[in-house]
Every structure is written in C-alpha cells, then in structure tokens.
Chains A and B, each alone.
Chain A
Amino acid sequence: MEPKNVYLQDLTRGLVKENPVFVALLGMCPLLGVTGFLFYGFGMGVATTAVAFGGTLMVSLFRNLIPSQVRIPIFIVIIATLVTVVEMSLEAFQPELHEALGVFVPLIVCNCLILGRLEAFSSKKPVLRSAADGIGAGLGFTLALVILAFVREVLGHGSLLGPNPDTVIQLFGPNFEPMTIFAQPAGAFIALGLLLALFNMFTKRFNI
C-alpha cells in the first residue's frame, strides 16, 4: 500500500499542475463545443470523468493481460464501449442534457486526455492509483469546462444555470444586452485564449 498522500497527489495533480486543458491543451473539441451554458459544461465534465474513471480502472486491472503490440486498439475499444454506455445512460436518464451535448458525447472517444492517461499511467500502475489518476484528470477537465462555461454563459447570455427556463437565473435586468459573441464559436476561442493567458500568468506568479 502506498502512503495516503500519493493518492491525494494523483487526484489533485490534474487540477492545476497538470491540468489537461490549460497545461496540455487536450480535449479542446468538447471544451469549446459544449460550454455555452454552465449546466452543459458540467454535464460533459461528469460524463468525461466517468469514462476516464472506468477506462483507467479497467486498463489497470487488466494491464498484465493486454499485449503491448495491440494495446492502443484495445484501449480505444474500451473507451468507445464506455462512451457508448454513457451516451445510452444520458439518453435514458438525462434526455435534455443528451440532446444538448449531441455529437460531442461520442467524441469523448478521441479526447486524448483519456488515451494519454491510459498509455502513460494506467497500463503500468496499480489499480487504486490509476483510478485516482483517472478521476483527477477528469476533475481537472471538469474544472476547465466549468470555468469556461461560467464565463461564456454570464457574458454571452447574462444568465446562469440556463437555458432551461425552470432553473435559469437571469443575472442582470431585462435591458441587459449580452455580448452574444461569447455565445458563439468565435467567442469560445477568444474566451479560452484569454483564460489560458490568465492561467499562465497565475502559474508563473505563484510558481506552480
């Protein structure tokens, strides 16, 4: 058994120091595609973390059985299977989220984030650590998603927890004109670029 704080390290590493988005620039496609609303960004984060957790768990469990020469296709099949299960579950239990995330759920498959963890970590390390590492990466990704979605929804729609009229909170009065550019693809790029710059400043200043 490893000392407790190794697991903590595995879990938190992905949050800042090795944040998959801000440091390694992985998982860009869903990041930009579903962050129009906070709810959707968070949902995608949860879905990706679930797949990351399942994937790292499985690969680590069977790491001695998976032959090295065909490991990549096998990883891909594992991830694709998990993603399909997640998509089916979304369709059954969260239809609104499923409709909103659309084709980006299947695209979790090519999120190099997960494949990267499997290749670099889960295929070599024991189960508990791999699982923690997977969750950590997923959490880091979710953090990025939530921050970007927060910025884009507030600036682009002037609301939070939308667009469902039952849950939405309008932050500003009815005369507020949102910067709709942020609700659009162009704004997503710009917002992410600025956030990235901010993140770089932040890490450099505090030497993280």
Chain B
Amino acid sequence: MREILRLSLILALVGIISAALLTAAYNVTEPIIIERRAADYRQALENFFPGFASFETEQVEEGQFDLIYDDTDDLMGIMATVAVLGYDGDITYNLAFDDSGEIIGINIVSHTETPGIGDVIERGSFQEQFEGKSHEDPITAGEDVEIVTGATVSTVAMINSIRQTADFVAQSFLGIEVEEIDFAEVPDGTYQGSAQGFIGPIVVEVEVSGGEVIDIEVIEHEETATYFVESYPLIPERIIEEQNLDIDTQTGATGSAEGIVNAVENALLKALGEDVDEPVEEEPVDIDLSEVPDGTYEGSAEGFMGPIVVEVEVADGEIVSIEVLEHEDTPEYFRESNPLIPDRIIDEQDFDVDTETGATVSAEGILKAVLNALSGALDNGGGGDEN
C-alpha cells in the first residue's frame, strides 16, 4: 500500500513539474508568437494600404474586419481576416479591399495545406486573379477565377470564402446592396437558365411555386458522367432543401456543382426580369471538307488553362495533318488528348469525334481550334495560307 502511494506521489510530482515547465514555456513563447503575427499583419497592412495612419477593428462572426484610415481620417479601405476550412485544417488569410469594395490583394496568414500541393494558394499566380474584383464579379470557380487541379479542395474553399467575404464587406461596411435572389419574389413558373460547368454549359429547368423553388432538373450538360453523378441530383436537392443558392458546393465534382448553382441563379434572374450573361450555346459547326480549299490554316480556341493554337493542312477535301502549335495546358494532361484527338479527326475525316479523354477540356479545345481554323478558311473564300 505504501509502495503504491509512494509511486503515485512521484508520478503526480513529475506531472506537476511537467505542467509547470510547459506553462512557463508557453508564457515565454506565446507573446513572441503573438508579436510576430501582429508584425506580419502590420506589414501586410503597409503593403496594401501604404501610409495608413490608423484602423478600427470590428469582430463579427464572419471574421475580423479592420477599417483602415489615412492621416486625414478618410477611409482607405478594409482589411478582412477570415478563416476557412481547407484540406488539412484552417486557412487564415487577409483580404484587402479599397474603399469601393474592390480587392487589392490577399495575404495568407497561416495554413496547414500539403506543401507542394495545397500551398499553391500562396503563389502569386493564384492570388493575382482576385485583384480588382469586387462583389459585382462572380468570383466563381470556372467562371472568372480558376481552381488548380490537384488542389481543388484548397482552391475552391478559398474562392468561395473570398466571394462571400467580398459580398459581406460590400453589404455591411460600404452600404452597397448586394444582389441576392429572394426566392419569394420570383413569380410562379418554370424557367430555364444556363451557366458554364466544368467542361461545357449546363442547362437547367427550375420550377417555382409559392415563392419556393420546388424542382430543378438538368436538361443538358457536357460533364463527364462519372463526375457529374457526384453533384447531381445532390446539388439541386440542397438548393431545394435550404431554399437558398448559398450552399456547400464541395463535392467530388465541384466544377459541375458550381455550374448547376450558377445556372439556377441565371434562371431565377431571368424570371425576375434581369439581364444575364449566359454561355452562348455554340451552333454545332458543320464544315463540309470538300468545300475547303487546299492549304494550311491556323485556328485557335480556349483550352483548359489558355488558348490552343493548331495548324491544319487540307488537300483534296481531306485533312492531311493537324499540329498543335501552342497551348498552355498542363503537359501530363494535355498528352491525354494530343495527338489522340488530331489522329481521330484525321482518321474519321469528321468532327464528331469522341472527346472524352483524361483531359476532355483540352480535347474540346483542340477540336474547336481545328473547326475555327477551317471556318476561317471558308470565310475567307479560300485560297492559300491564312495566318
């Protein structure tokens, strides 16, 4: 008995010493950590608002918002500090707005994303796409900003968070009315709308009754089936359940999810009599090869990351060769479609080729570029090289 008591006491003693040591270490390091964070923050403020004099902090549920003033007490802008759940934990970042709600820049404060993969959010190329945007811009993945493949969770989380923050800042601090669709104001009826999905436009039909969205159906899409099933019918179900467009779009096919949401938004906007920017349903271009004069033609179309430029050689009403001159797509993806798609086009002497590869967007881009090259040849009335 005494033995157990003695042992327990010794254990307890060790425990107490440990706790004491740790508390001491904590009290030493915590102020350093806090000071460093504050210094980093001041540095970020300097970068975005040079010469600022003071700021006023407002802490709300959405995050911390600092109103930045210059030395004449004019509002220079707002610095938001927001945390969003990324892949492996929270990403905390600063978002700087000027006084009209336009984004000046982003600063990542901390994150635990995978080095070499998720930390792409720290790169200039990702952050720069937000500069100059405001609540008036869609700031939507696939529309005006790009996700980064291989780091979709990290980048989509950031994009959605930035969009929501921009809207929030405009509404709460700058008194700007942010367009949000009130379902109750939409007249009963069935409306169609479309928006860009991951690969191509998604067309939805939305049924509204009694101020509520009661049904959403996707009537057309070009998404890859195995991915699309991750978002449909899940996303329409969420919209109907929450009677709101601000739902979680992180599925295994987030591009499609965002497309569906935007298509529904466009449908409802049209119902409210607003102008919308919808993707133009491209008329299936049918080119009669026999009408294309012999020659070499260049054409370009949008690929996944940027334009694809092709050179097409035609002789005796047949496509003899197709060469990709330029592209900006990731090499390991692009080679899934090139030279496969050019080969298919030449084999079939037709444009109705299967474009489902491991890089369908690139494939579609190559196809469209070829079509553009040949339409250009026809438009020009033929003859010779077209540059």
Q: Do chains A and B touch in the complex (CB under 8 A)?
A: yes
CB under 8 Å from chain A, chain B span 86-118: 88, 110-112, 115-116
C-alpha gap A66/B13 in the complex (Å): 11
Asked if A92 and B22 sit within 8 Å, CB to CB, the answer is no
- Interface presence of B29 (CB below 8 A): yes
Chain A residues with Cβ below 8 Å from B15 are: 77
**Within the complex, which residue of A74, A89, A157, A177 is in contact with B14, where a contact is CB–CB below 8 Å?**
A74
> Shortest CB–CB separation between residue A178 and chain B, in angstroms?
10
Residue of A nearest to B4 (CB): A69
Chain B proximity of A73: nearest CB distance (Å)? 6
Q: Do B33 and A99 have beta carbons less than 8 Å apart?
A: no
CB of A85 within 8 Å of the partner chain: yes
Expressed in whole angstroms, the minimum distance between the Cβ of A131 and any Cβ of chain B is 19
Contact check, B32 vs A69: say whether CB atoms are below 8 A apart.
no
When chains A and B are docked, how far (Å) is the Cα of A13 from the Cα of B112? 36
The answer to whether A99 touches B111 (Cβ under 8 A) is yes
- A81-B21 contact, Cβ under 8 Å, with A70-B7, A99-B112, A163-B115: yes
Number of interface residues of B (CB under 8 A): 25
Given contact pairs A67-B10, A77-B14, A95-B36, A84 touches B112 in the complex (Cβ within 8 A)? no
What's the nearest-Cβ distance from chain A to residue B365, in Å?
Answer: 22
Interface string of A81-95 (1 = CB under 8 A from B): 100110011011101
A183/B116 in contact, CB under 8 A: yes
* CB of B329 closer than 8 Å to a CB of A: no
Encoded as 1 (CB less than 8 Å from any A CB) or 0, chain B from 19 to 34 comes to: 0011001100110110
User: Please, how many angstroms separate the alpha-carbon atoms of A92 and B29 in the complex?
Assistant: 6
Q: How far is the CA of A88 from the CA of B15 in the complex (A)?
A: 19
Of A70, A99, A100, the residue contacting B10 (CB under 8 A) is A70
Instruction: Give the docked Cα–Cα distance between A102 and B88 (Å).
Output: 10
A195 in the interface (beta carbon within 8 A): no
Interface residues of A in 92-107 (CB under 8 A from B): 92-93, 95, 99-100, 102
Minimal beta-carbon separation of B9 from chain A (angstroms): 10
Within 6-57 of B, Cβ neighbours of A (below 8 Å) are at: 6-7, 10-11, 14-15, 18, 21-22, 25-26, 29-30, 32-33, 36
Per-residue CB contact flags for chain A residues 180-197 toward chain B (1 = under 8 Å, else 0) read: 000100000000000000
How near does chain B come to A75, taking the closest CB pair, in angstroms?
Answer: 10
Query: Is chain B's binding surface mostly helix, strand, loop or mixed?
Result: helix
- CB pair B331–A177 under 8 Å, yes or no, is yes
Residues 113-137 of B at the A interface (beta carbon under 8 Å)? 115-116, 119
User: Contact at A88–B29, with CB atoms within 8 Å?
Assistant: yes
Q: How far is the CB of B318 from chain A (nearest CB, A)?
A: 34
B112-A92 in contact (CB<8A)? no
Contact A102 B25 (CB under 8 A): no
B contact residues around A85 at 8 Å (CB):
21-22, 25
Given the interface pairs A92-B36, A177-B331, the reply to whether A81 lies near B22 with Cβ below 8 Å is: yes
State how many angstroms separate the Cβ of A132 from the closest Cβ of chain B: 24
Q: Return the contact of B26 from the options A36, A88, A183 (Cβ within 8 A).
A: A88
| B-chain residues with CB within 8 Å of residue A177 when the two chains form the complex | 331-332
Which of A70, A88, A100 is the one whose CB lies under 8 Å from B115? A100
Contact B115 A37 (CB under 8 A): yes
Q: Tell me the nearest residue of chain A to B37, going by C-beta.
A: A95
A80 touches B115 (CB 8 A): no
Residues in A neighbouring B6, C-beta threshold 8 A:
67
Q: Give Cα distance in the complex from A84 to B111, angstroms.
A: 20
Q: Which B residues are CB-close (under 8 A) to A102?
A: 88, 112
For A80, list chain B residues within 8 Å (CB).
Answer: 18
Chain B residues within 8 Å of A91, by CB = 29, 33
Q: Are A84 and B22 in contact (CB under 8 A)?
A: yes
Chain B residue at smallest Cβ distance from A157: B116
B7 touches A67 (CB 8 A): yes
Interface residues of A (CB under 8 A from B): 36-37, 40, 66-67, 69-70, 73-74, 77-78, 80-81, 84-85, 88-89, 91-93, 95, 99-100, 102, 157, 163, 177, 183
| A-B pairs with beta carbons under 8 Å apart, 12 shown | A37-B116, A84-B22, A84-B25, A85-B22, A91-B33, A92-B33, A95-B36, A95-B110, A99-B110, A99-B111, A163-B115, A163-B119
14 extra interchain contacts, Cβ-Cβ under 8 A, other than A37-B116, A102-B112?
Answer: A36-B116, A37-B115, A67-B10, A70-B10, A74-B14, A77-B14, A91-B29, A92-B29, A92-B36, A95-B36, A95-B110, A157-B116, A177-B331, A177-B332
